[in-house]
């Protein structure tokens, strides 16, 4: 209960900061989405969830499935497409971080797969 209240307060605080500084360095995924009129709730859901699974499902509402991402980015990757993964229901946010630099999750096991995650 307490942590939920704290999270709500953080969300409100971050919203106010963003509102007060619209020109704040917009280098992260969430900032770039906001400049395209995607709200906090469209990624986090009405319940303001930060759970990987929920976030991933919300990404897919706009971007579609892994297969659709593979088809879309096919031309960019000659060897391995990062969206062509073998973990089944892997959440999108394992790689795509909202408010910080993206992470190349595949690299944990495949040291030779080099991806720059937006």
Instruction: Note the residues at the interface with ligand HEC (CB under 6 A).
Output: 10-11, 14-15, 18, 29-30, 32-34, 36, 38, 40, 42-44, 50, 52, 55-56, 58-63, 66, 69, 72-73, 76, 80, 82-86, 90, 92-99, 105-106, 108-110, 115, 117-118
In this complex, which beta carbon is closest to ligand HEC, that of residue 1 or of residue 22? 22
In this complex, which beta carbon is closest to ligand HEC, that of residue 1 or of residue 75? 75
CA–CA gap between residue 99 and residue 111 (Å, rounded) = 25
CA–CA gap between residue 80 and residue 89 (Å, rounded) = 18
Contacts of 65 (CB under 8 A, 6+ apart): none
- CB of 11 vs ligand HEC, minimal distance in Å: 4
- CB of 111 vs ligand HEC, minimal distance in Å: 11
Q: Is 31 exposed, middle or buried (0-12, 13-18, 19+ CB in 10 A)?
A: middle
CA–CA gap between residue 22 and residue 104 (Å, rounded) = 29
In this complex, which beta carbon is closest to ligand HEC, that of residue 4 or of residue 118? 118
């Amino acid at each position: 209960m307490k942590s939920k209240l704290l999270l709500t307060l953080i969300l409100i605080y971050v919203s106010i900061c963003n509102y007060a500084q619209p020109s704040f360095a917009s280098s992260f995924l969430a900032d770039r989405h906001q400049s395209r009129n995607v709200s906090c709730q469209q990624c986090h859901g009405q319940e303001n969830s930060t759970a990987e699974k929920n976030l991933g499902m919300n990404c897919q509402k706009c971007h579609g499935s892994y297969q659709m991402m593979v088809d879309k980015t096919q031309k960019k990757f000659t060897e391995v497409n990062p969206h062509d993964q073998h973990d089944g229901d892997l959440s999108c946010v394992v790689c795509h971080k909202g408010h910080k630099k993206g992470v190349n999750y595949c690299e944990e096991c495949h040291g030779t797969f080099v991806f720059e995650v937006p």
